[in-house]
Amino acid sequence: MARAMTAYCDHNAGSPVRPEALEALRRALSLGGNPSSVHRAGRAARALMEDAREHLAGAVNAHPENIAFASGATEALHLAIEAARGEARSFLYSAIEHDAVADHAPRAWPGAQAIPVTGAGIVDLAALERMLADAAKPALVAVMLANNETGIVQPIGEVARRVREAGGLLLVDAAQAFGKIPVDVVALDAAYVVVSSHKIGGPPGAGALILAPGAPFRSAQGGGGQERGRRPGTENVPAIAGFGVAVRAPVVVSEFRDAFERALRARWPAIELVGATAPRLPNTSLFVLPHMKAETAVIAFDLAGVCVSAGAACSSGKVRSSRVLEAMGAPHHWCTNAVRASFGWNSTRADVDALLAALERIMARTPELTP
């Protein structure tokens, strides 16, 4: 992809691989070796993987032995849900969880219930308390640290306190928060925390489940006993090595998102910003076009060389209304017209300018919207 031609503003979908992570991936690929082998090639592969584990542990304040590498956040979330099943008797998850939880929960756990969120996009703590009181104990509770569509950060401290008081187990999906705001698994006070490599500029194909000391673990999958029996199958050492390098990079700052939103507010008051006053990730902007479906807008941005996402999920050419915005009780046009721009480690002022120039053209289609 020629950077000069493309303004990539879709880091929440997947951040380009950082050069140092790509280098680590290449080196590991060329070394080869299976980390379960006892010979020198196997030991070299294992050393790369354990180095990555140490660095990830350092980045999230965990013990390396409590980290199980997986193929990404989706698999790690599913492992956590299985892990808790040996002990938990019920499963509650926030209505704004990623599909990796929200779509999986009803299949994996009949009777799993969605916890409502407020109009501000925050998990409804009073509803959580009621549901915890009614649920079979102990309950597994999944609440994400930050939402992928809106960037809104959840009050995990408040959630964790309630889950702890009810004797439950907390699962925190930190896939979108990691690399953008600090993630400290001790402070989160969760039994399970999940992160993903490709959201932070590591290679796709790696993620991790981080367990609190003593967190219950039941593996539904038999296999070769890799990852202390927590995730069978030969580890993706090259991706894990790249992940281990990406975790050392500094967290993303808000400079470009804020510059974009300042310009947007000044120029087009008709465009609404979702969660503008809520605690949000510093890189994410979800804005609502007054006159155009997100699906059409994403194509228009793309034609202008700008990569953004529709807030609403799109499948086989049909845009569905955003499940997250629906759960917030947002007006219908928010659910269909919300566009997400998200910035990351290689964002530049030129990306912001290209985004604004593309928006200028899109808004010019309905001139009365530009004062």
Residues found near ligand PLP in the complex (CB under 6 A): 72-74, 98, 100, 144, 148, 173, 175-176, 196, 207
* Shortest distance (Å) from residue 46 CB to ligand PLP: 23
* Shortest distance (Å) from residue 362 CB to ligand PLP: 25
Q: Which is nearer to ligand PLP, 46 or 98 (CB)?
A: 98
Q: Which is nearer to ligand PLP, 196 or 283 (CB)?
A: 196
Position of minimal CB gap to ligand PLP = 72
Q: Which is nearer to ligand PLP, 208 or 264 (CB)?
A: 208
What's the CA angle centered on 291, arms 288 and 295, to 5 degrees? Answer: 70
Task: Give kind and range of the element (H or E) at residue 30.
Answer: helix 19-31
* Shortest distance (Å) from residue 263 CB to ligand PLP: 26
In angstroms, what CA-CA distances link 275 with 143, 150, 154, 287, 333?
Answer: 18, 7, 12, 9, 15
Task: Using DSSP bridges, classify how beta strands 192-196 and 169-173 pair: parallel, antiparallel or unpaired.
Answer: parallel
Gap between the Cα atoms of 158 and 29, Å rounded: 43
Say if CB 194 and CB 73 are below 8 A apart: yes
Gap between the Cα atoms of 142 and 156, Å rounded: 10
Q: Which is nearer to ligand PLP, 94 or 176 (CB)?
A: 176
Q: Which of 79, 27, 92, 20 is nearest to 249 (CA)?
A: 20
Q: Which is nearer to ligand PLP, 179 or 207 (CB)?
A: 207
Burial class (CB in 10 A: 0-12, 13-18, 19+), 101: buried
* Shortest distance (Å) from residue 100 CB to ligand PLP: 4
Instruction: Assign 114 to helix, strand or coil.
Output: strand
Gap between the Cα atoms of 204 and 22, Å rounded: 11
* Shortest distance (Å) from residue 12 CB to ligand PLP: 6
Q: Which of 339, 282, 288 is nearest to 309 (CA)?
A: 339
What's the CA angle centered on 247, arms 244 and 253, to 5 degrees? Answer: 160
Q: Which of 9, 307, 314, 335 is catalytic?
A: 314
What's the CA angle centered on 96, arms 92 and 100, to 5 degrees? Answer: 75
Q: Which is nearer to ligand PLP, 138 or 179 (CB)?
A: 179
Residue 307 falls in the annotated catalytic set: no
* Shortest distance (Å) from residue 203 CB to ligand PLP: 11
Task: Give kind and range of the element (H or E) at residue 341.
Answer: strand 338-342
β-bridge partners, 146? 153
* Shortest distance (Å) from residue 326 CB to ligand PLP: 17
Gap between the Cα atoms of 304 and 278, Å rounded: 30
Q: Which is nearer to ligand PLP, 45 or 100 (CB)?
A: 100
**Catalytic (active-site) positions:** 314
